[in-house]
């Protein structure tokens, strides 16, 4: 029997790459349900799987913020079970905190936090009843360490850590493995899709000069990091595969191999001051400024 995999957020990025890789598995191990909020965006995925047999991939509509759409997608899984659930959909929000509207902050939590949780809720009873299952969640360095100008995004990803860790403790009694794939910067549409305050925006006119100059440095730093250090989605997919193929997957995998050095600082220096100084230095003290 094929392993039935359902993935959220497959119109681009990590979700798309993972869906393509699993659906084109040479041994046809997987039946993939690639879900996306907006089916009008399915062309890119279809383009990547053109040569595939239809029996390893189906595309379903699913908006993780709409409970009924999750339940409808679940009901359309022909096998009537999902062995591996991948909660991947997510959005970013960048800019000085004082300009973020409550609506835009809510939106991030709706997708990243409640979207992930209510997706898990929908598939949990089935997994518990069968006494097996895998839940993989795309985590982020921003869920392990704070990043200036990303307060709400980090809050959403930190929250995911708490939710998943709590669940993992319980679900081992049901033979259900919860796994976070912690990603650093990845070359995807994430930067295009995120809500980001731009330097010329009217909303930034009220913001003080020091914040704006630090934000400018942040944007430059972020641009450099994505240009020089970002991983490709294929690298991330390999880590997902390692977790999927392991008989007993760990709770956390780090896309770059080990724990990122700055995240380590949080563990070796739990009062937090070294982390805060180190990140500030890295982000804000570039020489040309
Ligand atoms: P992406 O923007 O290409 O993919 C995110 C996907 O989520 C998109 O396809 C988008 O349509 C979908 N999505 C957004 N709202 C949705 C909703 N309400 N319902 C269903 N789908 C929805 O970016 P990505 O980098 O592939 O992001 C995937 C995950 O990886 C996210 O959770 C993100 O936080 C995480 N991540 C990304 C990076 C990075 O640098 N790209 C780093 C760490 C973690």
Q: Whose CA is nearest to atom 40 of ligand 1?
A: 185
- Domain limits, the chain: 3-203+233-260
Asked whether the predicted pLDDT for residue 289 surpasses 50, the reply is no
**How far, in Å, is the centroid of ligand 1 from the Cα of 86?**
12
Q: Whose CA is nearest to atom 6 of ligand 1?
A: 9
Q: Which residues are tagged catalytic?
A: 153
Average pLDDT for 224-232: 93
Q: Is 63 in the pocket of ligand 1 (CB under 6 A)?
A: yes
Separate counts of helices (H) and strands (E) for the chain: 11, 9
Q: Is 90 in the pocket of ligand 1 (CB under 6 A)?
A: yes
**Fold classification of 3-203+233-260 (topology level):** Rossmann fold (3.40.50)
Per residue in 66-75, pLDDT (tens digit) is 999 999 999 9
Average pLDDT for 10-37: 96
> Would you give the end-to-end CA distance of the chain in angstroms?
59
**How far, in Å, is the centroid of ligand 1 from the Cα of 9?**
6
What's the complex ipTM?
0.99
What pLDDT is attached to residue 51?
A: 74
Ligand 1, pocket-test mutation among 69, 71, 89, 110, most atoms within 8 A of CB: 89
Measure the CA angle with vertex 185, ends 199 and 187; round to 5°: 90
Spell out a b/e string for 183-202, using b for 16 or more CB atoms within 10 Å of the CB, else e. bbbbbbebbeebbebeeeee
**Owner of token pair 């392991």:** 246
Nearest atom (ligand 1) to Cα of 92: 34
């Amino acid at each position: 029997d094929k392993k039935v995999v359902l993935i959220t957020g497959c119109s681009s990025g990590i979700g798309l790459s993972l869906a393509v890789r699993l659906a084109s598995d040479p041994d046809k191990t997987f039946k993939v349900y690639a879900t996306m909020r907006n089916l009008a965006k399915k062309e890119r995925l279809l383009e990547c799987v053109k040569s595939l047999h239809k029996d390893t991939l189906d595309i379903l509509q699913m908006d993780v913020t709409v409970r009924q759409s999750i339940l409808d997608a679940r009901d359309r899984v022909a096998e009537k079970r999902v062995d591996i659930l991948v909660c991947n959909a997510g959005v970013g929000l960048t800019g000085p905190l004082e300009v973020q509207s409550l609506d835009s902050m809510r939106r991030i939590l709706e997708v990243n936090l409640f979207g992930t949780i209510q997706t898990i809720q929908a598939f949990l009873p089935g997994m518990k009843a069968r006494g097996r299952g895998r839940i993989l969640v795309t985590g982020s360095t921003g869920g392990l360490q704070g990043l200036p100008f990303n307060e709400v995004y980090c809050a959403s990803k930190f929250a995911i850590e708490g939710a998943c860790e709590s669940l993992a403790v319980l679900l081992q009694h049901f033979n259900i493995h919860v796994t976070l794939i912690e990603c650093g910067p990845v070359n995807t549409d994430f930067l295009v899709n995120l809500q980001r305050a731009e330097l010329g925006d009217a909303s930034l006119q009220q913001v003080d000069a020091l914040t704006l100059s630090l934000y400018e440095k942040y944007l430059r730093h972020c641009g450099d990091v994505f240009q020089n250090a970002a991983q490709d989605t294929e690298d991330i997919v390999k880590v997902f595969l390692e977790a999927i193929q392991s008989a007993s997957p760990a709770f956390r995998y780090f896309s770059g191999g080990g724990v990122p050095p700055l995240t380590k600082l949080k563990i070796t220096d739990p009062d937090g001051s070294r982390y805060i100084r180190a990140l500030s230095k890295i982000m804000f003290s570039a020489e040309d400024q």
